[in-house]
Amino acid sequence: MKENSKNITRRSFIGTTGTIAAGLTILPNSVISGLGHRAPSDKLNIAVVGIGGMGNSNLRAVKGTENIVALCDVDWGYSKEVFAANPEAKPYWDWRKMYDEMGKSIDAVIVATADHSHAVVAANGMKMGKHVYVQKPLTHSVYESRLLTKLAAKYKVATQMGNQGSSDEGVNQTIEWLQNGEIGDVRKVEAFTDRPIWPQGLNVPKGEWVPETLNWDLFIGPAKMRPYNSLYTPWNWRGWWDFGTGALGDMACHILHPVFKGLKLQYPIKAQGSSTLLLTDCAPNAQMVTLVYPERVTSKKDKMKLPQVEVIWYDGGLQPPKPTGWPAGKNMNDGGGAVIFHGTKDKLICGCYGKDPWLLSDRKPVVPKTERRIENAMRGGHEMDWVRACKESPETRVKSKSDFSEAGPFNEMVVMGVLAVRLQGLNKELEWNGEKMEFTNIGPEDKVRLTISDNFTIIDGDPKFNRPNLTLNAQEFASEMIKHTYRQGFSLPDMPA
């Protein structure tokens, strides 16, 4: 029978998890059970939340060696086969009930829900001492990214964002080439994706009857309630601002990772976005975002300087101009996108996931291997790197390849792109204070006008557009996007100091 989130009150959830958290103090089961770590042969008890799509791939990657003890999904039609294939795991509709009932026996949680519910599941899991593997983009907002980063450090749990390319050879090589000074200093980077490959630029659809097998209330989770339509879930939630992060959020965690890591970025200082028609609810068909990062401290072993750098993003079919010397006829799109690093000595180009880096000069660099290598990174190796980290003692743990200490700040870059696009109506370069998580040049009187829906009629060949709009206070709109107000029944742990 479908379970309603109302059956589990906020009080019972917080009450029980609070007790468990207090009982565990800050330590996960794995720490309590032994000398601070598990033998690699000990199996983890893993729960998976969001199993109908990518969650099933993550599950299969760890199932061979670990115990899958609980599965949670809000759509038992879409996830039917995954539940059926894992009869040993206790099935749930509501991750809060799962934590309440099985908190003590779960060591680690994989989160592969729609973007807007990653943070609330992961943060409450970490508060209970659970290791977490969270799909990309790590979170839906800047505040949530910062929170997950700090909770991971506070509770000393093993973490991994699901940008599996970060464990793959292309990212390793791109980082090594950059940091070995092969292209000199980088002041400009351009990147793009060929997404969206799901519908975007749409008006809000009319409500439909909710299928028997879906708990819409639980899908909505921390977001604002809206009438169900099959356009939202499964999968196509990506294009709806309340649930997804558009093409940029979907792909930038794969494509920009070698940029963030290779150039040692932290918080941007400026952001600017533009797009095709911007609607209140649905992401635009194509976007362009420019983020500016300040000069970074160069370490003694760096063979390049780290001056201020501009990172320019394109999606929806837009691509950066081909640089002079680009091989005629060569498709820039390599596996869903590409990156061009403009160096003072050369240009480095790589595909999605840092795939197959090459230099525009066609020189073939031979550089020392400084990055840790992961076997079968894209075929379960990334997940198993996290499993390995879960079993190591926090004091000596080798961080997984996309540990939240890096993935958190990196994800802030990705969600900053969404902010830049949604605030484009301010018609200015936005200035960002990363430490404080606030724009410093949006005034209390600034307004943004957004289009609610895009309609037209043609009368005698003359198109008449009808685009009702909404004017919002820009500071309030920005604050809400930086830190969402959660719907009743869903809350985050406090931000650690």
Ligand X SMILES: NC(=O)c1ccc[n+]([C@@H]2O[C@H](COP(=O)([O-])OP(=O)(O)OC[C@H]3O[C@@H](n4cnc5c(N)ncnc54)[C@H](O)[C@@H]3O)[C@@H](O)[C@H]2O)c1
- Which position among 5, 17, 30, 113 is part of the footprint of ligand X (CB under 6 A)? 113
- Which position among 100, 107, 115, 168 is part of the footprint of ligand X (CB under 6 A)? 115
Which residue, 294 or 335, is less far from ligand X as judged by CB? 335
Long-range contacts of 264-267 (CB under 8 A, 24+ apart): 264/296, 264/306, 265/293, 265/296, 265/309, 265/311, 265/409, 265/410, 265/413, 266/293, 266/296, 266/409, 266/434, 267/293, 267/409, 267/412, 267/432, 267/434, 267/435
- Nearest CA to 18 among 493, 383, 496, 478? 493
Give 355-383 as a 3 state SS string. Answer: CCCEECCCCCCCCCCCCCCCCCHHHCHHH
Closest distance between ligand X and the C-beta of residue 218, in Å? 5
DSSP 181: T
Residue 26 φ then ψ, to 5°: -110, 15
320 binds ligand X (CB under 6 A): no
79 binds ligand X (CB under 6 A): yes
52 binds ligand X (CB under 6 A): yes
Closest distance between ligand X and the C-beta of residue 58, in Å? 8
Which residue, 38 or 257, is less far from ligand X as judged by CB? 257
Number of residues this chain uses to bind ligand X (CB under 6 A): 30
Closest distance between ligand X and the C-beta of residue 92, in Å? 8
**Per-residue mark of binding to ligand X, 147-186 (x: CB under 6 A):** ---------------x-x----------------------
Choose the binding region for ligand X from 11-19, 43-51, 144-152, 460-468 (rule: CB under 6 A).
Answer: 43-51
**Per-residue mark of binding to ligand X, 85-104 (x: CB under 6 A):** ----------x---------
Which residue, 73 or 446, is less far from ligand X as judged by CB? 73
Dist CA 152 CA 408 (whole Å) = 10
Which residue, 213 or 276, is less far from ligand X as judged by CB? 213
Choose the binding region for ligand X from 21-29, 73-81, 166-174, 438-446 (rule: CB under 6 A).
Answer: 73-81
Dist CA 156 CA 130 (whole Å) = 9
73 binds ligand X (CB under 6 A): yes
Which residue, 51 or 448, is less far from ligand X as judged by CB? 51
Cβ count near 322 (within 10 Å): 12
76 binds ligand X (CB under 6 A): no
- Which position among 24, 48, 49, 340 is part of the footprint of ligand X (CB under 6 A)? 49
Dist CA 358 CA 425 (whole Å) = 38
Closest distance between ligand X and the C-beta of residue 126, in Å? 17
Residue nearest to ligand X (CB): 53
Dist CA 141 CA 401 (whole Å) = 22
235 binds ligand X (CB under 6 A): yes
Q: Is 98 exposed, middle or buried (0-12, 13-18, 19+ CB in 10 A)?
A: buried
384 binds ligand X (CB under 6 A): no
Exposure string of 102-120, with b = 16+ CB inside 10 Å and e = fewer, is bbeebbbbbbbbbbbbbbb
Residue 108: its H or E element: strand 108-111
Interacting residues with ligand X (CB under 6 A): 49-55, 72-75, 78-79, 95, 112-115, 117, 135-136, 162, 164, 218-219, 221, 233-235, 250
